[in-house]
Structure 1
């Protein structure tokens, strides 16, 4: 019989009942060091007092009214995002997937209103992940994402990651935009070099294209800047945000320049729950913390410390790990052993990591982790690696 919860996940046999900062407590009382943060969601850790207070206070006042009316919390969060980024305007969603849907619509509507309705194609890259909606899987284009769900939505051209010549050669009179993650997450923690980000911005400018950045996973302080595009010194036209912006509460957004958003007039898009008072109250507090310069400086300091220790871990376990890669507290361990075996050994040693493509495990801890957490995390990963080595030796 099919279970009451649709079986679309390969779940680990763990039931977490409580969270405290960087720690998760299992139903049997075991404490797990969380280096996954709900896949880069719990930016301020579990049960952060300021987030609990914001949610509780708002819940006692008002939960939902719909976007038929002005929502003060939504306006406050939009102002914070506009004040701290390239954007002139923000639309709130509940997830990164919904943000992708709007980003695609916004780009196409932009050219339709400019009298160029044929410009619908969006250039994307192998290894990308833009959510699991029809547009999201079509944008990624991989067989893993699209098999069995055809026909896929047209209008996406899939290119090789890192091939700038391929980008230029793919541009036609139908091209509307380039869409890319500054750091691929699901694709195996693959950062786009700063020089390449600059080149993509230049290509868009030269050909009159829109640059869409997917910062759902790499944004909101994850790389040590508020948003990853800042490292390259460029700005996008449209940007997708989610995960960390809600600190664990479902919240997403599309940020855009006034020009890029010019086609999205009243009635062209909407959301029942997007920008609700609960989510935006929490998002405001997240922004107050993460946009702070001292907070981001600490993220960079801690990421350097963690990376240094991980380099030592790789050197100590060459049969398990090959290298460290990534940016800020969005790090990947490229594995020699099967990455799922390393993740499972981590569970045995009460440390949580997240698998990704290219035989990588992701380390996406809360941005609030401490130096002691880092030391304990590497110690537990060391035990997990030793366990994998034993398994390899006896296989």
Structure 2
């Protein structure tokens, strides 16, 4: 008999009832150190006092009016994002998946309005993850994502990650955009080297192609910059954002230059809930904290500390781990055991990690995790690894 909750997840036998900072409390009273942060969502930890205050204050005033009217909190958050990024304009969504849908529409509409309706194809890369909507799975293209869901949305050109020759060969007069994650998350914490991001920017400029960055998982301070592409010193034309921007409240956005967004005029896109007062009030508070250079400096300092300790962990368990990779507080443990086995072993030691592709376990702690919590987390990871040693 089917569950009342559609069984599309293989859920762990854990039920968390409360949280504070980097900690989650299970219904039976056990306390877990959370190195998953809701898959990079709870950027400022659980029940962050400032976010609780802002959300509670807004909830007592106004929840929803719709985008038929001006929404002051939405305007305030858009202004903060424009002031702190490459973007000239922002559209708010409820998720990264919705942001992907708009990014695809925006790129295609741009060329349609420029009198080049044949330019509809978007280059994407193996190992990518852009959500589970029709556009998102078609963009990723993997059998795991697409099997059984055909016919797929056409117009995507799938290339192997890191194949520069194939990329150059794929450029033609039907290409409208290149879509890439500066750091692949679901794909196994695979950063795109800075020189490659610069090369993509140059390639797009040379051929008049739009560059789309998916920073749903790697953005909002996760890598030690407000957005991951900043490390390369270049900017996209369109960027997808979600997860951390709401600090746990469902919120996403598409950021774009005025030029890239020029086709998106009144009536071309919409959202019932996107940019609602609740989400945007929280998003403003998140931006006030995360965009502060002093906060980002602390993220980098703690990221260095965590990475150093993880290198020691890997060295101490050569039968379990192969290497550490990633950027900032978006790190991966390349495993020699099945990632799911290590994640489950972590549950036994009351520490939460997240599996990914390429035999990697993701570590995505709250950005404000403390030094003491980092030390305790690595101790628990060490115990989990020891329990798997042959």
**Structure 1 residue 166, shift from structure 2 partner:** 1.3
**Structure 1 residue 205, shift from structure 2 partner:** 0.2
**Structure 1 residue 75, shift from structure 2 partner:** 0.1
2:283 corresponding residue in structure 1: 283
**Structure 1 residue 190, shift from structure 2 partner:** 0.1
Within 5 Å, give how 1:178-193 maps onto structure 2.
178-193=178-193
**Deviations 1:35-60, CA, capped at 9 Å, x for gaps:** 00000000000000000000000000
2:246 corresponding residue in structure 1: 246
Question: Aligned partners of 1:18 and 1:334: how far apart in 2?
Answer: 31
2:39 corresponding residue in structure 1: 39
Question: Aligned partners of 2:36 and 2:59: how far apart in 1?
Answer: 27
1:106 corresponding residue in structure 2: 106
Question: Aligned partners of 1:74 and 1:337: how far apart in 2?
Answer: 46
Question: Aligned partners of 1:2 and 1:230: how far apart in 2?
Answer: 46
**Deviations 1:103-134, CA, capped at 9 Å, x for gaps:** 00000000000000000000000000000000
Give the 3-state SS of the residue equivalent to 2:326 in structure 1. strand
**Deviations 1:274-332, CA, capped at 9 Å, x for gaps:** 00000000000000000000000000000000000000000000000000000000000
**Structure 1 residue 159, shift from structure 2 partner:** 0.4
Question: Aligned partners of 1:380 and 1:252: how far apart in 2?
Answer: 33
**Structure 1 residue 208, shift from structure 2 partner:** 0.3
The answer to whether residue 9 in structure 2 is matched with residue 9 in structure 1 is yes
Question: Aligned partners of 1:79 and 1:216: how far apart in 2?
Answer: 19
The answer to whether residue 226 in structure 2 is matched with residue 226 in structure 1 is yes
1:25 corresponding residue in structure 2: 25
Question: Aligned partners of 2:9 and 2:324: how far apart in 1?
Answer: 27
Question: Aligned partners of 2:164 and 2:238: how far apart in 1?
Answer: 20
Within 5 Å, give how 1:333-372 maps onto structure 2.
333-372=333-372
Gaps of 5+ in 1: none
The answer to whether residue 71 in structure 2 is matched with residue 71 in structure 1 is yes
Question: Aligned partners of 1:305 and 1:323: how far apart in 2?
Answer: 16
**Structure 1 residue 149, shift from structure 2 partner:** 0.3
Question: Aligned partners of 1:254 and 1:79: how far apart in 2?
Answer: 13
Question: Aligned partners of 2:372 and 2:12: how far apart in 1?
Answer: 26
Within 5 Å, give how 1:1-395 maps onto structure 2.
1-389=1-389, 393=390
Gaps of 5+ in 2: none
**Structure 1 residue 80, shift from structure 2 partner:** 0.1
Question: Aligned partners of 2:173 and 2:246: how far apart in 1?
Answer: 39
Give the 3-state SS of the residue equivalent to 2:91 in structure 1. strand
**Structure 1 residue 164, shift from structure 2 partner:** 1.8
Question: Aligned partners of 2:178 and 2:167: how far apart in 1?
Answer: 9
Q: Structure 1 stretches (4+) deviating beyond 2 angstroms?
A: none
**Structure 1 residue 167, shift from structure 2 partner:** 1.0
Question: Aligned partners of 1:128 and 1:35: how far apart in 2?
Answer: 22
Question: Aligned partners of 2:92 and 2:298: how far apart in 1?
Answer: 28
Question: Aligned partners of 1:55 and 1:370: how far apart in 2?
Answer: 24
**Structure 1 residue 150, shift from structure 2 partner:** 0.5
Matched residue pairs, number?
A: 390
**Structure 1 residue 17, shift from structure 2 partner:** 0.2
Question: Aligned partners of 1:27 and 1:255: how far apart in 2?
Answer: 39
**Structure 1 residue 186, shift from structure 2 partner:** 0.1
Question: Aligned partners of 2:164 and 2:240: how far apart in 1?
Answer: 22
Give the 3-state SS of the residue equivalent to 2:154 in structure 1. coil
